[in-house]
């Protein structure tokens, strides 16, 4: 089976990105053919600093490998380096109704967030994502829940293309993880997001002091009971989910362990757990940053392998559409 996924280099990655996406990728690379990209073209659809983008791409590559992706076991590459992605984006745009793009939740949310920056690229974002996925004849797309609507649209586009021009693309499926939606520490009814204030998320390389501070000040409620109840207790439920996903213990057991103990003790233990689990990431990052040429080689090697696959699909697409 072929797996494809990506992340925009739009800020430091957090435990939501890890639990929702990367953790699954690491498991999948052991048994499937995996392709992961750094979606730098997607990062240009919201406000960004051009002179910081290549640094952010580098930092995302460091994060991927520090968190456990192994370039020997999967293909890692930068989206903009494989031009086939933009070519296919254009072509898919010609068979996609504008209404389908306008109704995407992410488009609506980002348009509201950046009213001065509602550009056509933001509207066409799902076409680029569909191209990423379809170029590699992908079977499964492991992402967090917020991205599943885009994968659904990708399926529709692939079906429409196959019907109109003949069998060309494999129809991909979304693969959600247990950590499909981790919430913001300050507003637990909103998803944790890397373009939000850093106090609302735990970065994968946060230092122990920062982790403690953020967890201790995470929003909970005025009760005492440690119980998973998303409607009534979204803050504590989010922290319980994070505890469970990092420790591997079921939520029921954690509730039992902390019964009668109060929020403070629970938060101290959670901070301790996160410090312990994230420590290897920080160690690996330090090591990698000493070898920028290694990283460049990994990404160039990844580009070659990715492009070889993408070119084959593009040749088929051009033929089918009469562009040869
Ligand atoms: P941005 O703030 O730039 O929109 P983000 O933090 O939402 O960024 P993305 O780059 O959109 O992160 O997402 C990368 C991957 O992580 C996607 O698969 C996405 O579904 C997943 N993801 C993002 N946020 C969360 C979250 N809070 N919980 C679970 N998965 C998440
Ligand atoms: N839009 C995704 C990132 C992304 C992606 C992809 C995910 C870009 N291309 C292809 C899966 C498959 C996001 O997380 N915001």
Each residue's pLDDT expressed in tens, for the chain with a length of 324 residues: 999 999 999 999 999 999 999 999 999 999 999 999 999 999 999 999 999 999 999 999 999 999 999 999 999 999 999 999 999 999 999 999 999 999 999 999 999 999 999 999 999 999 999 999 999 999 999 999 999 999 999 999 999 999 999 999 999 999 998 888 999 999 999 999 998 999 999 999 999 999 999 999 999 999 999 999 999 999 999 999 999 999 999 999 999 999 989 999 999 999 999 999 999 999 999 999 999 999 999 999 999 999 999 999 999 999 999 998
Catalytic residue among 23, 81, 191, 267: 191
Ligand 2 centroid to Cα of residue 119, in Å, is 18
**Residue ranges around ligand 1 (CB below 6 Å):** 7-8, 10-11, 16-17, 19-21, 143-144, 146-147, 179-182, 191-195
The domain spans of the chain are 2-171+292-320, 198-286
Query: Measured from the CA of 17, which atom of ligand 1 is nearest?
Result: 16
277: annotated active-site residue: no
* Distance from C-alpha of 29 to C-alpha of 42, rounded to nearest angstrom: 24
Q: Which-ligand-closest: CA of 191?
A: 1
Q: Name the class of domain 2-171+292-320.
A: alpha beta
**What confidence score (pLDDT) does residue 178 get?**
86
Ligand 1 centroid to Cα of residue 191, in Å, is 8
DSSP states of 188-240 as a string?
A: TTSB--TTS-GGGS-BTT--HHHHHHHHHT----S------BTTTBHHHHHHH
Of 56, 27, 24, 29, nearest in space to 40 by CA: 56
* Distance from C-alpha of 35 to C-alpha of 29, rounded to nearest angstrom: 9
Ligand 2 centroid to Cα of residue 181, in Å, is 15
CA distances from 59 to 7, 46, 208 (A): 12, 18, 20
Same fold, 2-171+292-320 and 198-286: no
**Residue ranges around ligand 2 (CB below 6 Å):** 4-8, 39, 42, 129, 132-133, 141, 143, 147
**What confidence score (pLDDT) does residue 180 get?**
84
Q: Classify domain 198-286 at the CATH topology level.
A: Tyrosyl-Transfer RNA Synthetase (1.10.240)
pTM to 2 decimal places: 0.94
């Amino acid at each position: 089976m072929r797996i494809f996924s990506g992340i925009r280099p739009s800020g430091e990655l957090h435990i939501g990105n890890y639990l929702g996406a990367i953790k699954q990728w690491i498991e999948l690379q052991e048994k499937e053919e995996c392709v992961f990209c750094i979606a730098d073209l997607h990062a240009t659809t919201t406000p960004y600093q051009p002179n910081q983008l290549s640094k952010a791409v580098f930092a995302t590559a460091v994060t991927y490998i520090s968190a456990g992706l192994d370039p020997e076991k999967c293909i890692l590459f930068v989206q903009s380096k494989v031009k086939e992605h933009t070519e296919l984006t254009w072509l898919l745009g010609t068979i996609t109704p504008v209404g389908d793009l306008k109704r995407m939740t992410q488009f609506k949310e980002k348009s509201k967030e950046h009213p001065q920056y509602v550009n056509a690229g933001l509207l066409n974002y799902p076409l680029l994502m569909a191209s990423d996925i379809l170029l590699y004849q992908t079977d499964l797309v492991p992402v967090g829940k917020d991205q599943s609507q885009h994968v659904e649209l990708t399926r529709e586009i692939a079906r429409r293309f196959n019907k109109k021009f003949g069998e060309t693309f494999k129809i991909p499926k979304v693969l959600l993880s247990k950590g499909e939606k981790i919430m913001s520490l300050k507003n637990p009814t909103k998803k944790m997001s890397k373009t939000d204030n850093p106090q609302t998320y735990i970065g994968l390389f946060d230092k122990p002091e920062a982790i403690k501070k953020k967890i201790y000040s995470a929003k909970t409620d005025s009760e005492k009971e440690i119980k998973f109840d998303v409607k009534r207790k979204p803050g504590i439920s989010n922290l319980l989910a994070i505890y469970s996903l990092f420790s591997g213990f079921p939520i029921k057991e954690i509730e039992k362990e902390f019964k009668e103990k109060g929020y403070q003790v629970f938060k101290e233990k959670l901070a301790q757990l996160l410090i312990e689990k994230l420590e290897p990431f920080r160690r690996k990052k330090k090591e990698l940053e000493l070898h920028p040429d290694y990283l460049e080689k990994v990404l160039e090697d990844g580009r070659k392998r990715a492009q070889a696959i993408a070119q084959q699909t593009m040749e088929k697409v051009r033929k089918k559409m009469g562009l040869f």
